[in-house]
Amino acid sequence: MLRVLVWNEFYHEQTHERAKAIYPHGIHRAIADFLQCDDIQVKTATLEDENCGITKEVLAETDVLIWWGHVRHNLVPNEVVELVRDAVLEGMGMIFLHSAHHSKPFKALLGTSCHLTWRESGDSEVLWVIEPSHPITQGIDRYFTLEHEETYGEPFVIPTPDKLLFIGSFSGGEVFRAGCLFERGNGKIFYFQPGHETFPTFYQAPVQTVIRNAVRFVAPTYRARTGCPHVRKITDEGDYVLKNH
């Protein structure tokens, strides 16, 4: 059984008419609804929950954390960010959606500004598959289209992805590295660009396929805290002392 936690800022869907109409129960519920199945169990948490709904215990029982945020990134406490980062380094899988490119955990894990160019004009987007044999692109043909999305453009200030899976092409002319895979510590991280709050992106079948594939792909095969052991000789496996700095 895969245990997924969908985290959402949950602000626009309570304050912005159009977002509310599209996602009446919040983006987190829309994602949970299509992910839930026989072998995937989904929980949700939002900024409104105590401590963002994220504790060390919660993360210890989470295989994959999905994150959506936009204008309230700064309200996520640094302690929560550290818990999330440590869990990924231990092996928890993580998926960042759309404007979560600017979320604190994404920036903390990648180390860069994660800036990009943007425009809210309702461009259409074609998302092209770069790696047809990758598990995350299975079920998608050469490309899929979204009638409307917020335009994101390059340069996207991220480290070179370990694998580039999708490039998006917007009707206004921009391109964007729309599906990027990173490995950090024992954990896998997938960034996926579609998902603006004023469009019904998360109801589109190909978007659901990609996120479902990604959940299965980033789920850990191995999870352990990597320390900084002091060893007296190479055979000295018992004497692990954490370096105190």
Q: DSSP label at 136?
A: G
Closer CB to its own copies, residue 41 or residue 138?
Answer: 138
CA distance 46 to 5: 10
- How many angstroms separate the first and last alpha carbons of the chain? 38
Applying CB under 8 A, the site for its own copies has a residue count of 75
CA distance 170 to 4: 31
Q: Which of 108, 200, 209, 212 binds its own copies (CB under 8 A)?
A: 108
| 47 touches its own copies by CB under 8 A | no
Q: How far is the CB of 33 from its own copies (least distance, A)?
A: 27
Assigned token pair, 8: 């959402």
Q: Which of 1, 39, 160, 238 binds its own copies (CB under 8 A)?
A: 160
Closer CB to its own copies, residue 43 or residue 175?
Answer: 175
- Give the residue from 15, 7, 18 showing the smallest Cα distance to 201: 18
CA distance 135 to 152: 25
| 24 touches its own copies by CB under 8 A | no
Q: Which of 34, 43, 122, 138 binds its own copies (CB under 8 A)?
A: 138
| 118 touches its own copies by CB under 8 A | yes
Q: How are beta strands 175-184 and 187-192 bridged, if at all?
A: antiparallel
Considering only residues 181 through 210, tell me which ones interact with its own copies, judged by CB under 8 A.
182-187
Stretch of 23-31, 47-55, 149-157, 200-208 contacting its own copies, by CB under 8 A: 149-157
Tell me the C-alpha to C-alpha distance, in Å, between residue 42 and each of 3, 98, 231: 6, 20, 41
Q: Which of 42, 174, 197, 214 binds its own copies (CB under 8 A)?
A: 174
Closer CB to its own copies, residue 7 or residue 29?
Answer: 7
Closer CB to its own copies, residue 22 or residue 181?
Answer: 181
State residue 69 phi and psi, 5-degree precision: -155, 165
The maximal CA–CA distance of the chain, rounded, in angstroms, is 64
Assigned token pair, 46: 């939002």
Stretch of 18-26, 27-35, 42-50, 226-234 contacting its own copies, by CB under 8 A: 226-234
| 79 touches its own copies by CB under 8 A | no
